[in-house]
Structure 1
Amino acid sequence: MVRLHDDQVDIEIDSVRRLIAEQFPEYRQLEVRPVSGSPATVSKLFRVGTALAAKFPLRRQDPEHAASWLTREADGLRSFHAVSRLPSPVPVGIGDPGHGFPMPWMLQSWAAGTTATPTGVADATAVAEDVAELILRMRGTDPSGFRVNGSGRGGDLSSHDAWVQECLRRSEGLLERDRAAERWQQFRVLPPPAESVLCHGDLTPFNLLVRRNRLVGVLDGGGFGRADPALDLIVAWHLFDAPARAVLRDLVGSDELEWRRGAAWAFEQAMGVVWYYRDTNPAMSALGRTTLARILDAADL
């Protein structure tokens, strides 16, 4: 297995089978197999039969912290599923550490479909329409009672200065650093939004399921909560070329500030994945390069 992180914790399929048999015995007869070719960077996934998946955190953390994270993740998955009206994973249960794996883990439903790519539906206006409908549905839901996801992406742009500078330093030979640095100086001073709305929080191509140029499912809804309305507009830059982006912007009704902040969050995310996953996750690194090229060449920023 390729190691994505220095603190990565691996798990063998035999351990997965034993954990399921002991902790979820009703599913012990189901076939367990790893999900191959996944660009996932946070969890290792295993299919359990045809309708379930077991998800194991990739990076080592304190078991209590991991349990708290998985509990929040489960709450987010349930809430997103209820709001989105699209197929998306929902939690079945949280498993305990065991058989060599030191952290809690999650059993969840499996959402079928083909994950999008940064260029595969770049000109698909129908997908842009579907994504806009999803964003508007989330924004139209009362955010009362939902947690605020503003400590990372979705918070203050200028608080990411040190991270962006580190990314620029590590990206020599990988991207146009001078142009990227100039763009960040424009982004970092954008004022914050007046209010927060409900957001998925990570609408990258690899979290979107498509079929015949339509959106048919959404993955990784565990971060669902209140955030900068612009946060989910990262999808415009991660997924679409200019014509489809224009369709999305028009349908969502983004003004200039919101549109630019969406580009800023996509930029901040892309800057990190280009160098960090250059050797270990080429698909994720390529996503970053595609996104940055779109942002640096955009006429509406």
Structure 2
Amino acid sequence: MGERSDSRLAAMRTDELNIDVVLVQRLVAGQFPRWAGLGVEAVDSGGTSNAMYRLGADLVVRLPRRAGAEGDVAKEHRWLPWLAPRLPVAVPVPLGQGLPAGNYPFRWSVYRWLDGATPDVGHLVAPGLLAEDLAGFIDALHRVDPAGGPDSYRSEHLAVRDTVTREAIEELRGVVDADAARAVWETALRAPVWAGPPVWIHADLQPGNVLVDRGRLGAVIDFGCLGLGDPAVDLIVAWYVLPGDVREAFRAAVAADDASWARGRGWALSIALVELRYYRDTNPVMAGHARRVIREVLDGRER
């Protein structure tokens, strides 16, 4: 689920808490004494909402960095154990929920550590097989009974993102091809909206949330955006993870029609633009992914 790094994870927002090994050790010892003797090491992650700490060889502690991420804890504890047996690859299943304590004000989680590595996008071992695996995961997730599920963090119609996307395009003019980005965005907005019922979506299928093993999909992690929405949102993985030469095979495997594909492209572009605008000076990993996605979307745009 990542690589080990320094004891304190760098802040990216002004409202983030200071989280370090000492805090994690204190929280674990106070609430889960059976794990108190296990070593704690920071996990190097490009994630923006949670800090991750390896706990011994088999566990990981996940702590919200800021107030806006705490609500994901209850959602993941409620839904991930139910979704896990219905999906074709491993997903995080919580083993314990921690409570606020001392100077740490949020609920937090302990999960089983999932083996695997985030994909080296651009140097995939077996991109065609990974495309098949991702399509299988998405198809299975979208078929799960949606009854009672919460709205996804990205459950809005694409048009709701129009203002923030256009603002990002203008702010990044000179960094990206603003005119081409605007043309792709306007094409996406013209696509028919999703007319079916909302389905379960992961809604954040980026490289940091996918684990591969010998080129194949081994696990999907970070379900903070999980909920019900337009299935096209999960098509962002076609630009975030997959190379262009397998993108059409992936599209065929998920049976995405023209409207869904256009919305998926729009979602990928919008998310990447907003990420680059926000993180280009604070999170080089996220900014690098965003730049590549924008380039992939614009290079492959329909003319």
- Give the C-alpha shift of residue 75 in structure 1: 2.0
Aligned counterpart in structure 2 of residue 262 of structure 1, from 253, 261, 264: 264
Work out whether 1:11 is the aligned partner of 2:19.
yes
Do the aligned partners of 1:80 and 1:221 also contact (CA within 8 Å) in 2?
A: no
Q: CA deviation at 1:125?
A: 0.5
Instruction: State the secondary structure of the residue aligned to 1:5.
Output: coil
Larger deviation: 223-232 or 251-260? 223-232
- Among residues 41, 52, 62, which one is paired with 1:45 in the alignment? 52
Residues 79/220 of structure 1: CA separation in 2 closer, same or farther (3 Å cut) = farther
The aligned counterpart of 2:139 is 136
Secondary structure of residue in 1 paired with 2:54: strand
Aligned alpha-carbon RMSD (Å): 1.9
5+ residue gaps, structure 1, are: none
> Is 1:58 matched with 2:65?
yes
Deviates further, 70-79 or 233-242: 70-79
Give yes or no for contact 1:84–1:137 (8 Å, CA) kept in 2. yes
**Matched residue, 1:179:** 180
Identity of aligned residues (%): 32
Query: Residues 142-198 of structure 1, C-alpha deviation per residue, up to 9 Å, x if partnerless?
Result: 22232232xx52421111112112212331332111211222122223221112222
1:288 counterpart = 2:296: no
TM-score normalised by L of structure 1: 0.91
CA, structure 1 residues 129+300, in 2 after alignment: closer, same or farther (shift >3 Å)? farther
Give 1:109's aligned amino acid.
R
Deviation at residue 110 of structure 1 after TM alignment: 1.4
Deviation track 1:202-226 (CA, whole Å, cap 9, x = no partner) reads 1111111112211111111243332
Pair 76,271 (structure 1): closer, same or farther in 2 beyond 3 Å: farther
| Correspondence list, 1:31-110, <5 A | 31-36=39-44, 38-60=45-67, 66=70, 68-110=71-113
Matched, 1:169 2:177: no
Q: CA deviation at 1:258?
A: 0.8
| 2:204 is aligned with 1:202 | yes
Change in Cα spacing, 1:299 to 1:215, as seen in structure 2 (3 Å) is same
Find the aligned partners of 2:124 and 2:102 in 1 and give their Cα distance: 42
- Provide the rounded CA distance (Å) in 2 between the counterparts of 1:103 and 1:140: 33
Does the aligned pair in 1 maintain the 2:52–2:60 contact within 8 Å?
yes
Task: Give the aligned residue type for 1:110.
Answer: W
Change in Cα spacing, 1:2 to 1:173, as seen in structure 2 (3 Å) is farther
Q: Deviation digits for residues 21-80 of structure 1, max 9, x if unmatched?
A: 1101111111111112x111110110111111111111245xxx83x4310122232233
Q: Do the aligned partners of 1:197 and 1:226 also contact (CA within 8 Å) in 2?
A: yes
Query: What amino acid sits opposite 1:90 in the alignment?
Result: V
Q: Distance in 1 between matches of 2:136 and 2:286?
A: 26
Aligned residues: 294
After the TM superposition, which residues 105-116 of structure 1 pair with which residues of structure 2 at under 5 Å, given as runs? 105-116=108-119
Which of 178-187 and 228-237 deviates more? Answer: 178-187
Q: Of 233, 237, 245, which aligns to 1:235?
A: 237
- Give 1:299 shift: 4.8
Distance 2:103 2:207 in 1: 33
- What is the alpha-carbon distance in structure 2 between the residues aligned to residue 93 and residue 173 of structure 1? 47
Structure 2 residue identity aligned to 1:16: V
AA at the equivalent of 1:137? A
- Considering Cα pairs closer than 8 Å and 6+ residues apart, tell me whether 1 or 2 has the greater RCO: 1
* Structure 2 residue ranges without an equivalent (≥5): 1-8
Counterpart contact for 1:123–1:244, Cα < 8 Å: no
